């Protein structure tokens, strides 16, 4: 027997779960399906879960800052739901953006002022008081250790940074998605796991429902693609959807390293999240007094676009599969080693390799589609974790408005943010947009 | 009064190993220094820092790519290194003869370190064969070492809870165990310094090595497939605890 719902959400990661939550709160009977065994087990689990406000556009900054308020008020957001696994914790370390040629920090500062983000401008001396292990020489441009220029001595100094005290990271990103799932279930949402979508059924220009690998058919007038790195495959299953997108998504392989902090530096308890475009890295503390070292995708680094199914199956070979590569281990650890000269780099790579669901301009697509009732929250490009609860609310309102007759392509939906009070033109995230050249074209967004 | 540290270039224990043909693996994976050799280097550097040795020399028999492991060794404290180049896998018989020949030719050893085993072949033989070739005393799985002008006192871990203490005359061979120290990994400045340190390449074929009467070859490599048969235990917490005890006692026989 075919099961019927008001809305099907494909993907129970940190983007899909809040959409299910918000739609349920609005009275929709939702069914979330995910091919993995539990919420947040996919690329959400591999997220660094950074919560920062610096983005290259003012709307990007406002959106992220709105998200801060959800993380700072997590239990309230979840309506005090109980999760047998416990609650994810927002580690409010503060977030330091190093002023460098690798970031358009002048724009960030302007956007901070426009949005009202709390921040403090720091000199090098003030940064060193906070983080005594740093060497604040300028190493720009970002290079790879294979390049002889990587090893040259620096001559210039950096010019300080912007410190945002409300930033930080979430200690367990998979758990945060699980928390939202429990909150959604408390509002009536249903989640189905080990459920892989193989077909999106449609008739007369309207979506009808989905078919799972085991043949199960689930019907709903609304289907939302939150499939993360599989988003392009799901869009391709829905008639006319892929073709109707001017901005497309694909899966980008990404390595994050764990390197122990220097023994005399309590990075876990006293450290900050730090974005350092000068060395093309961002870092945050991890359990075991580790530096978690992410890459800001500098131009000199290879970009490996992969098939998500092959990647997760460990196929594709060196530098394309789900194994850390020695070259990238050295690149990211040595870059941080320049900034933290007492950092000791083990011989064995340790870290996480996962995928970004990356859009053409590294700005997500939060939109309807050319197929009636089919929506997408895709192309999150490694930089939308922090925004996820806001995305949930915005997508739910967008879906509700469109289902009630709004022509979002002609008259873009205007989303009023609850905490900052700003109105966001959701058309900014349109699938029909031209490539946004204000973007950083990186994880910085 | 040199310290020689014999190091091996091995596949990363976290790598996914795929067998190619009958007796080879796909080598496009991460390779690094055998982890036990990291303890050996750390100890060698500690002894040198105490003013007791002149030079630390890392020695490796391997393919040209093994230079990476020698670079790691020099970043961890070796002053220079010797790569005995070959294009194929060798057993511990040839390995020990090659290392002995290279060390004998290079200088006067005081302590020769190896790891207690390599994580790829796990033969645990090279240190003994090396000592035999050089006519030196040897101790393995060493977790504590005290070197003085007269010789070397070592503590070796045998089975759990048993420690042997040996006094060896120098020169001697020491197989480093995991309990010896925490590896002292290099900082960026260490790595920069190591780039200027020399690697001497010698060809295995040109070494004066006696052909052994016996040898070991890998005839076939077969992937080890772990059989996992998970079983869910049901009942109250007390029931489950009782079932776990029963399994540990009667099935696994570990308690």
Residues carrying CATH 3.50.50.60, chain A: 3-85+172-249+360-429
DSSP annotation of A261 = P
Shortest Cα distance from B64 to chain A (angstroms)?
17
Q: Is residue B75 part of a domain?
A: yes
Name A137's bridge partners: A157
pLDDT confidence of residue B208: 83
Tokens of A234: 């799901």
Judged by CB atoms closer than 8 Å, whether chains meet at B185 and A321 is answered as no
Q: Out of A314, A329, A343, name the one closest to residue B188 (CB).
A: A343
Radius of gyration of chain A (CA): 21
Q: With respect to residue B62, please indicate whether it lies within any of the assigned structural domains.
A: yes
For the residues A165-192, what does the mean pLDDT come to? 98
Helices A16-25 and A173-186 pack at an angle, to 10 degrees, of 20
Number of residues in chain A: 445
**pLDDT tier for residue A77 given thresholds of 50, 70 and 90:** very high
Chain B closest CA to A152's CA: distance in Å? 10
Q: Is the pLDDT of residue A59 over 60?
A: yes
**% pLDDT > 70, chain A:** 100
Please list, in sequence order, all residues whose beta carbon lies within 8 angstroms of the beta carbon of residue A365, skipping any fewer than 6 positions away.
A245, A247, A249, A359, A376, A377, A378, A379, A429, A430, A431
The gap from C-alpha B12 to its chain's centroid, in whole angstroms, comes to 13
Place of tokens 């900082």: B187
Q: What is the pLDDT of residues A110-120, one digit of tens each?
A: 999 999 999 99
The whole-angstrom distance between residue A54's C-alpha and the CA centroid of its chain comes to 13
**Whether A183 contacts A189, CB under 8 Å:** no
Yes or no: say if A304 and A252 are a contact pair by the CB < 8 Å rule: yes
Residue A210, beta-bridge partner list: A200, A218
Instruction: Examine the pLDDT at A1 and tell me if it is beyond 60.
Output: no
Contacting residues of B for A323, CB less than 8 Å apart: 14-16, 29-30
3-state secondary structure of B147: strand
- In angstroms, the separation between the Cα of residue A293 and the nearest Cα of chain B is 15
Q: Which residue has the higher pLDDT, B89 or A196?
A: A196
Is the Cα dihedral A331, A336, A340, A346 positive or negative?
Answer: negative
For residue B240, tell me if it sits in a domain. Answer: no
In a domain, B244, yes or no: no
Q: Exposed (0-12), middle (13-18) or buried (19+): which is A152, by Cβ within 10 Å?
A: exposed
DSSP 8-state symbol, A435: P
Question: Residues of chain B whose C-beta is under 8 A from some C-beta in A?
Answer: 12-16, 28-33, 35, 38, 68, 72, 183-189, 191-192, 195
Q: Indicate the CATH number for domain A3-85+172-249+360-429.
A: 3.50.50.60
Alpha-carbon distance of A425 to A343, in angstroms, equals 44
More confident residue, B210 or A171: A171
Residue found by looking up tokens 């040629």 in the block:
A101
Contacts of A326 in chain B (CB under 8 A): 12, 30-32, 68
Rounded mean pLDDT of A138-145? Answer: 98
Q: In the beta sheet, which residues pair with residue A305?
A: A252
- Distance between CA A297 and CA A293 in Å, rounded? 12
CATH number of the structural domain spanning residue B15: 3.40.50.620
**A252: part of which helix (H) or strand (E)?**
strand A249-260
> CA-CA distance, A310 to A378, in Å (whole number)?
20
Indicate the residue of A321, A326, A334 with minimum beta-carbon distance to B191.
A334
Structurally, what CATH architecture does the domain formed by A90-169+253-355 represent? 2-Layer Sandwich (3.30)
Q: In chain A, which residues fall in CATH 3.30.9.10?
A: 90-169+253-355
* Residue located via tokens 């350092």: A276
Cα diameter, chain A: 72
For residue range A84-136, what is the model confidence (pLDDT) as tens digits? 999 999 999 999 999 999 999 999 999 999 999 999 999 999 999 999 999 99
Residues A255-261, mean pLDDT to the nearest whole number? 98
> Mean of the pLDDT values across residues A254-263?
97
Return phi, psi of residue A13, to 5°: -90, -160
Q: With beta carbons less than 8 A apart as the criterion, state whether A389 and A77 touch.
A: yes
Quote the pLDDT of residue B254: 86
Candidates A145, A288, A347, A351, partner chain B, best to mutate (most B CBs within 10 A): A347
Structural domain containing residue B54: 2-206
CB within 8 Å: A349 and B72: no
Which among A19, A50, A58 has a CA at the least distance from the CA of A378? Answer: A19
Q: pLDDT tens digits, residue range A310-329?
A: 999 999 888 899 999 999 99
Strand A161-164 versus strand A120-122 pairing type: antiparallel
Can you tell me which residue has the tokens 């859009």?
A359
* Average pLDDT, integer, range A338-360: 97
Q: Is residue B255 part of a domain?
A: no
Q: Which residue of B has its CA nearest to A260?
A: B185
Please check the confidence at residue B211 and state whether its pLDDT lies above 90.
no
Confidence category of residue B225, pLDDT binned at 50, 70, 90: confident
- CA neighbours within 13 Å on the CB side: how many for B5? 36
What contacts A221, CB < 8 A, 6 or more positions away? A6, A7, A206, A207, A373, A403
- pLDDT digit string (tens) for B32-51? 999 999 999 999 999 999 98
Structural domain count of chain B: 1
What pLDDT does A232 receive?
98
Does the residue B80 lie in any domain?
A: yes
Q: Is residue B219 part of a domain?
A: no
CA distances from A47 to A255, A270, A283 (A): 11, 22, 13
Q: What is the pLDDT of residue A313?
A: 92
Between chains, do A348 and B14 touch, taking CB under 8 Å as contact? yes
Name the nearest CA neighbour of B95 among B207, B174, B200. Answer: B207
- Give CA–CA dist A359/A431, Å, rounded: 10
Residue B216 lies in a domain: no
CB atoms within 10 A of CB B73: 31
* Other C-beta atoms lying within 10 Å of the C-beta of residue A153: 7
Supply the pLDDT for residue A400: 98
CB atoms within 10 A of CB A2: 10
| A173 phi/psi in degrees, rounded to 5 | -65, -35
Under the banding of pLDDT at 50, 70 and 90, the label for residue B73 is very high
> Is A346's CB within 8 Å of B185's CB?
yes
Q: Give backbone dihedrals phi and psi of A365, rounded to 5 degrees, phi first.
A: -110, 110
């Amino acid at each position: 027997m075919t099961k019927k719902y008001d809305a099907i959400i494909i993907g129970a990661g940190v983007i899909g779960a809040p959409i299910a939550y918000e739609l349920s709160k609005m009275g929709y009977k939702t069914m979330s399906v995910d091919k993995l065994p539990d919420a947040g087990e996919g690329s959400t689990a591999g997220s660094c879960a950074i919560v920062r406000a610096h983005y290259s556009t003012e709307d990007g900054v406002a959106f992220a800052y709105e998200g801060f308020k959800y993380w700072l008020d997590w239990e309230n957001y979840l309506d005090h739901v109980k999760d047998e696994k416990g609650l994810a914790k927002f580690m409010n370390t503060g977030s330091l953006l190093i002023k460098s040629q690798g970031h358009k920090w002048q724009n960030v500062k302007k956007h901070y002022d426009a949005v009202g983000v709390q921040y403090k401008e720091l000199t090098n001396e003030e940064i060193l008081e906070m983080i005594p292990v740093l060497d604040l020489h300028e190493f720009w441009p970002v290079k790879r250790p294979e390049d002889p220029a990587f090893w040259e001595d620096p001559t210039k100094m950096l010019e300080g940074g912007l410190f945002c005290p409300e930033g930080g990271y979430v200690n367990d990103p998979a758990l945060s998605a699980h928390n939202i799932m429990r909150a959604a279930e408390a509002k009536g949402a249903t989640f189905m796991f080990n459920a892989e979508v193989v077909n999106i059924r449609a008739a007369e220009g309207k979506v009808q429902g989905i078919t799972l690998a085991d043949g199960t058919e689930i019907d709903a007038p609304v289907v939302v693609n939150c499939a993360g790195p599989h988003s392009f495959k799901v869009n391709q299953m829905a008639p006319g959807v892929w073709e109707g997108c001017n901005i497309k998504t694909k899966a980008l392989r990404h390595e994050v390293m764990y390197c122990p902090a220097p023994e005399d530096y309590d990075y876990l308890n006293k450290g900050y999240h730090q974005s350092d475009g000068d060395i093309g890295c961002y870092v945050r503390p991890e359990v075991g007094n580790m530096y978690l070292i992410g890459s800001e995708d500098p131009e000199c680094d290879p970009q490996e676009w992969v098939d998500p199914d092959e990647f997760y199956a460990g196929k594709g070979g060196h530098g394309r599969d789900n194994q850390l590569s020695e070259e990238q281990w050295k690149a990211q650890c040595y870059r941080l080693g320049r900034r933290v000269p007492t950092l000791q780099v083990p011989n064995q790579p340790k870290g996480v390799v996962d995928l970004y669901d990356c859009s053409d301009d590294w700005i997500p697509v939060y939109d309807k589609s050319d197929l009636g009732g089919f929506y997408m929250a895709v192309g999150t490009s490694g930089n939308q974790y922090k925004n996820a609860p806001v995305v949930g609310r915005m997508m739910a309102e967008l879906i509700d408005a469109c289902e009630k007759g709004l022509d979002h392509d002609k008259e873009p939906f205007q989303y009023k943010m609850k905490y900052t009070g700003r109105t966001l033109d959701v058309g900014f995230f349109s699938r029909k947009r031209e490539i946004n050249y204000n973007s950083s074209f990186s994880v910085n967004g | 009064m040199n310290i020689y540290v014999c190091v091996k270039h091995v596949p990363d224990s976290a790598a996914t190993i795929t067998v190619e043909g009958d007796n080879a693996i796909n080598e496009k994976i991460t390779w690094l220094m055998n982890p036990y050799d990291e303890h050996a280097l750390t100890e060698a550097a500690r002894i040198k820092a105490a003013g007791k040795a002149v030079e630390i020399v890392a020695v490796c028999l391997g393919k040209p790519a093994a230079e990476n492991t020698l670079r790691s060794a020099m970043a961890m404290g070796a002053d220079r290194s010797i790569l005995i180049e070959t294009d194929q896998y060798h057993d511990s018989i040839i390995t020990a003869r090659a290392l002995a020949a290279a060390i004998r030719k290079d200088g006067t050893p005081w302590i020769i370190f190896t790891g207690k085993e390599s994580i790829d072949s796990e033969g645990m033989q090279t240190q003994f064969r090396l000592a035999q070739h050089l006519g030196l005393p040897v101790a393995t799985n060493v977790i504590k070492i005290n070197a003085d002008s007269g010789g070397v006192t070592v503590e070796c871990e045998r089975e759990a809870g048993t420690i042997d203490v040996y006094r060896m005359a120098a020169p001697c061979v020491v197989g480093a165990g995991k309990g010896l120290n925490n590896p002292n990994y290099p900082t960026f400045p260490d790595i920069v310094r190591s780039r200027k340190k020399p690697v001497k390449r010698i060809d295995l074929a040109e070494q004066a090595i006696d052909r052994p009467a016996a040898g070991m070859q890998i005839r076939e490599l077969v992937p080890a497939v772990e059989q996992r048969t998970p079983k869910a235990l049901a009942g109250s917490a007390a029931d489950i605890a009782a079932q776990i005890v029963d399994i540990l006692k009667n099935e696994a026989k570990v308690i």
